[in-house]
Chain A
Amino acid sequence: MAEAAEGGKVKKILYVNRKAPYGTIYALESLEVVLIGAAFEQDVSLAFIGDGVFQLVKGQNTKGLEVKNFSPTYRALEDYDVTKLYVEGESLRARGLVEDDLIVPVEVVDGARMTEIMEDQDVILSF
């Protein structure tokens, strides 16, 4: 991740995921940006806050919804060198979830730390 394709500029880009996965298309289309964006070799992180934490819950079954279950894609992020996934602990707890319920390894952080992570970015894309 040291060298970027675009004129040597490496920016810190944070994708903030705020919505549950199937009620709206934001989660899926956010993931599409992350996958395309990986080719630009930037310093990428993902944040999951609020209902966004539901995107990472294990054992999603969308058969009855007749919608594609895209949750396995989060496991593929590692192959794209996207490894910094931050989940807000308060959001998890408020929804009765623990780290073990999640499909990929993440760093659980509190709201104050999440604020610091956001402040540290060059670009924040919020979905």
Chain B
Amino acid sequence: MKLGILISEGPYTHAASDTAYQFVKAALAKGHEVIRVFFYHDGVNNGTRLTVPPQDDRNIVQRWSELAAQHKLDMVVCIAAAQRRGLMDAAEAKRNGKDADNIAPGFRISGLGQLIEAAIQADRLVVFGD
């Protein structure tokens, strides 16, 4: 089955990102195809490479980056939501006159159209939120 994933909450405060991660991993292991993971609302904060969780805890951001690298996942951060919350790649930082970028490996910034497109193309869009 072709799956689209929407994650609406940031790391650590809510379980949404953890649950989505476990779901995606399990779905891939079962041979399903994950066509896109879309991060919206505070979910964009899953894409910052600047998190430093305690050593004995899971590293949510890094875990997503690794999963993306292993399975060539398309992980998209909503640009409008990202701009509001200070999540940017080098191009966005330059365009907005900011002195740094913080996007983690495996994530890319794009528009909400990518969410709708995933909803249309996937057999199921699975939403992880509050």
Contacts and interface: CB of A to CB of B under 8 A. Distances in A.
B111 interface: yes
Given A36-B116, A40-B117, A26 B127 contact: no
Chain A interface helix/strand/loop/mixed: mixed
A126 B121 CA distance: 18
Interface in A29-60: 29, 32-33, 36-37, 39-40, 42
B11 to A, nearest CB: 17
Interface residues of A, number: 20
Contacts of A75: none
Given A37-B112, A125-B6, A125-B127, A9 B120 contact: yes
B113 A124 contact: no
| Among all A-B residue pairs, the 7 with the closest Cβ atoms | A36-B112, A37-B116, A123-B119, A6-B120, A40-B116, A123-B125, A33-B112
B115 interface: yes
A9 B117 CA distance: 11
Contacts, number: 52
Interface in A107-127: 123-127
Given A40-B113, A124-B127, 18 more contacts: A6-B121, A9-B120, A13-B116, A13-B119, A25-B41, A29-B40, A29-B41, A29-B81, A32-B112, A33-B40, A36-B111, A36-B112, A39-B113, A40-B120, A125-B6, A126-B127, A126-B129, A127-B8
Interface of B: 6, 8, 40-41, 80-81, 84, 111-113, 115-117, 119-121, 125, 127, 129
A25 to B, nearest CB: 7
A42 B41 contact: no
A40 B119 CA distance: 11
